Structure 1
Amino acid sequence: MSNQTIANRYAVALFQLAKEKHQLKKVNEELQVVKDVVQANPDFLKFISHPKITKQQKQDFIKKSFASLNETTLNTFLLLIESNRMGILVPMIDQFKSLVYDAEDMAEALVYSAQPLSDKEQNEIAKSFAKQVKKSKLEVINIVDSKLIGGVKIRIGDRIYDGTIKAQLDRLERQLVAGTR
């Protein structure tokens, strides 16, 4: 069985438990914080996966490191350690987030821009593109890319809306090369 399949199973189980306890939002927020910590500290997964460190030591480390997590989230990590599955942590977190977004009829929009967008601009993008992707709400994550001359590029799931000046110039170049206007 692939790691992604296993991660999906753990995510679904955690999703059902969190939903039953009315903790979807809290668990999702905590998981995103943990994901940020794991990605910012690559040695974390090396340590937690090291075969010479006992499961009890790993569990104690998790309990101390993430003492502020609620019981549902913390027990999930302890279960992953117990079953030697910490390698699926990030894919499981991503799948959990996807399940929460589907349940709440929302999606994540990565918005690339040359300058940081104001809250008003982010809200306008969220309202406009939520209709296009048939979701009730979009969570806008603004990523500043200094390589962009201007405009925005929006990625929602597997869809990309490219309204950057660079994309417009590239289209114009292709048209000129092809001999059409």
Structure 2
Amino acid sequence: MSKDNEVVAKRYAAALFEIAKEQNVLAQVEKDMELVKDVVLNKAELQSFLAHPKVAVAKKQHVVKESFSKSVSQHVLNTLLLLVERHRGDIIDSVAVEFFKLAYEERSVAEAKVYSVKPLSDAEKASLSEIFAKKAGKKTLKIENKIDKNLLGGVKIQIGNRIYDGSVSGKLARIERQLVRK
């Protein structure tokens, strides 16, 4: 994404965030934006349709209304329609990402990727969230569990640009480095 599009996405996200916060519907708008992001990212046809310069704005807005009017709040729908009207349909997913950053900051949540050999249970996710949220200076973590068959066991956690390696292979590598130093 270009720097200009990033700036624009942040502005739209900030405006939607402020409206949601003022109207006390932040949780609902966050849920709606999750749906919008999933639909836009998983439907390549929709992405290319919204970004296509030769498709009329009215037609794009009609598709957006048909796609989202029954499933998202009016605030989110209005934002999507405004993005399409201003020929910014290609940054809808970026607006969602920027919105989540603001919402997570408001609620003191950090995003974390947890790499493990097998899917984690809800109890395991809750335990990891409790332990590592404190290390990140947040109240809780929103955990995305990724399966990594290359791990021998344990977990590897990425929060922002920090990585906590509790995997067996990571521990073996640390032991090897200690032995080489001696």
TM-score calculated relative to the size of structure 1: 0.92
TM-score calculated relative to the size of structure 2: 0.92
Aligned residue pairs, count? 179
> Is 1:145 the counterpart of 2:148 in the alignment?
yes
Q: 2:36 aligns with which of 34, 41, 46?
A: 34
Q: Which amino acid aligns with 2:181?
A: T
Tell me by how many angstroms 1:47 deviates: 0.6
Partners of 2:129 and 2:141 within 8 A in 1: yes
Partners of 2:156 and 2:165 within 8 A in 1: yes
Cross-structure match for 1:16:
18
| Aligned mates of 1:174, 1:41 — CA distance in 2 | 46
Cross-structure match for 2:45:
43
Tell me by how many angstroms 1:114 deviates: 0.4
Q: Match of 1:135, SS?
A: coil
| Aligned mates of 2:78, 2:17 — CA distance in 1 | 13
Q: Which amino acid aligns with 1:43?
A: E
Q: Match of 1:110, SS?
A: strand
Partners of 2:41 and 2:47 within 8 A in 1: no
Cross-structure match for 1:123:
126
Tell me by how many angstroms 1:168 deviates: 2.2
| Aligned mates of 2:116, 2:7 — CA distance in 1 | 35
Cross-structure match for 2:162:
159
Consecutive unaligned residues in structure 2, runs of 5 or more? none
Tell me by how many angstroms 1:175 deviates: 4.3
Per-residue CA deviation, residues 60-115 of structure 1 (Å, 9 max, x unaligned), is 10111112211000000000001011122122111100100111111122111101
Cross-structure match for 1:73:
76
> Is 1:54 the counterpart of 2:56 in the alignment?
yes
Cross-structure match for 1:90:
93
Cross-structure match for 2:4:
2
Consecutive unaligned residues in structure 1, runs of 5 or more? none
Q: Which amino acid aligns with 1:74?
A: L
Q: 1:63 aligns with which of 62, 65, 83?
A: 65
Cross-structure match for 1:180:
181
| Aligned mates of 2:128, 2:37 — CA distance in 1 | 26
